[in-house]
Every structure is written in C-alpha cells, then in structure tokens.
Amino acid sequence: MVLIVEDEAVSRRALQQLLRLSGLETRAASSAEEAISMVSQGGAPDMALVDINLPGMSGLEFVRQIHRTFPLLPCIFMTANDEAQNEQIRGGGNEPMFRKPFDVPRLIHLIIQTIGKSRVH
C-alpha cells in the first residue's frame, strides 16, 4: 500500500487515481498529522509519497517521525518549489525528490521498483 500525504485535494485524488490505475493500493492523508494517525491505527504502508510543504508538520518532519517507528520505510518526496529541495538537502535526507508537475510514468516506475525492493528485505 502506498500512503499519499498531500494537502491539495485535487493533487491527492489525482495521485490516488493514477496509482490505482497502475494496480497499486493507496491510502491518502491531507496532513502529516492525519498520516501518522492512519499509520498508528493500521500499520505501516509499503512506502510513502510525501509532499514536503504541508500545513502544520512538514513532510520532512513527518518522515523523521515515521522513521522512528518504521526506520526502513521508503519515502519519496514531492515539491512544487526549489526551496523545499534545498531544505531537504540541509536536513540530510536522501529520499528521492520529484518536482511538481512530475513525470508520471517515471514516478510510477520508481514507486513500483521501491515497493518491490522493500518487500524483498
């Protein structure tokens, strides 16, 4: 299951639809706080697709917190601006980053590849 953490409703629904059409199960949250609640109630996803610029807790902080419980959970960041990428670099993150609007086939390929690797380990 791919956990989508995206505050923009249109983007969140579009991502869910695209991933479902690619055969991937999804759950979606509009904030980091909601995503943490979902994970605490339903277990770990196979991976998380996380917007960096979320209201309240940032996507970067969400990933830091989720990695405390699930240290090997693969995450892919999404951003609409260069500043978020600079923030990720300063924070030492090594998760893949996709700039919006992104190359959908490339993103889906990376998600499927990432899930495959995480299931092997």
> Which pLDDT does position 120 carry in this prediction?
43
> Which pLDDT does position 79 carry in this prediction?
87
Alpha helix stretches (DSSP H) within the chain: 9-21, 32-42, 59-69, 82-90, 104-120
**pTM of the entire predicted model:** 0.86
Q: Give per-residue pLDDT as tens, 38-89.
A: 999 987 899 999 999 899 999 999 999 999 999 999 999 988 876 555 554 4
Residue 7's domain comprises 2-120
Q: Give per-residue pLDDT as tens, 17-41.
A: 999 999 999 999 999 999 999 999 9
Say which CATH number the domain at 37 has: 3.40.50.2300
* pLDDT of 109 over the 70 cut: yes
Do the beta carbons of residue 98 and residue 76 sit within 8 Å? yes
Q: Alpha carbon of 42 to those of 18, 27, 63, 97, 111: distances in Å?
A: 23, 11, 17, 26, 21
